[in-house]
Each structure stands twice: as structure tokens, then as C-alpha cells.
């Protein structure tokens, strides 16, 4: 399990928001690695500590940046969204 902060990419933010992504609204995220793709990309289950704040942005194809402090350490693309009734991960 890995905990970090994350920022959803909305398109064009870098051009119009000075200091982005550091100055963007950040959400605490939990990642659990579940496998790897042949390309070397990691598959992870992702959950948010503030699910209600993240929910409007969570959909297949959504892109988020995983951050450690002001540094972007990974880019994630959401491929599937679980119904909260099916499990604890989003």
C-alpha cells in the first residue's frame, strides 16, 4: 500500500494555472499494486480518503498525477470504476 497526494488532470490546467500541479486542489490517494502490464506499467487499485470529493472526477479514462510533495512521481489513468457496494476501492 502506498499513500500520496494526487491531482486530477482537467486539460489545459498547466497553461492557465500558475504553479500547477503543485497549486492545484490535491486529494489524498491510496494505491495498491495488483500487477504489471507487458509494457512495464503497473496496475493498481486506487482509493481516495475523501471519496465524496474525488467522485465527480473518477471515471474511466480520467488522468491523475501522483505526487510526493511538489514532485510528480507517476501518472495514472483510471481504467475501471468499482461500485462502492462491490468493494472499498474506487
20-67 pLDDT, tens digit each = 555 567 889 999 999 999 999 999 999 999 999 999 989 999 999 999
Residue 23 resides in a domain: yes
Residue 82 resides in a domain: no
Domains identified in the chain, total number: 1
The pLDDT of residue 90: 39
Residue 87 resides in a domain: no
Q: Supply the pTM of this predicted model.
A: 0.75
Domain that holds residue 71: 2-77
C-alpha distances (whole Å) from 36 to each of 22, 32, 33, 40, 70 are 28, 12, 8, 6, 26
Residue 13 resides in a domain: yes
Residue 28 resides in a domain: yes
Residue 54 resides in a domain: yes
Amino acid at each position: 500500500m502506498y499513500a500520496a497526494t494526487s491531482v486530477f488532470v482537467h486539460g489545459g490546467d498547466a497553461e492557465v494555472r500558475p504553479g500547477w500541479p503543485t497549486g492545484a486542489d490535491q486529494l489524498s490517494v491510496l494505491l495498491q499494486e495488483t500487477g504489471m502490464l507487458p509494457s512495464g506499467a503497473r496496475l493498481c487499485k486506487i482509493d481516495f480518503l475523501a471519496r465524496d470529493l474525488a467522485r465527480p472526477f473518477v471515471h474511466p479514462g480520467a488522468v491523475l498525477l501522483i505526487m510526493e510533495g511538489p514532485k510528480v512521481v507517476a501518472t495514472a489513468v483510471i481504467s475501471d470504476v468499482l461500485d462502492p457496494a462491490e468493494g472499498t476501492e474506487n
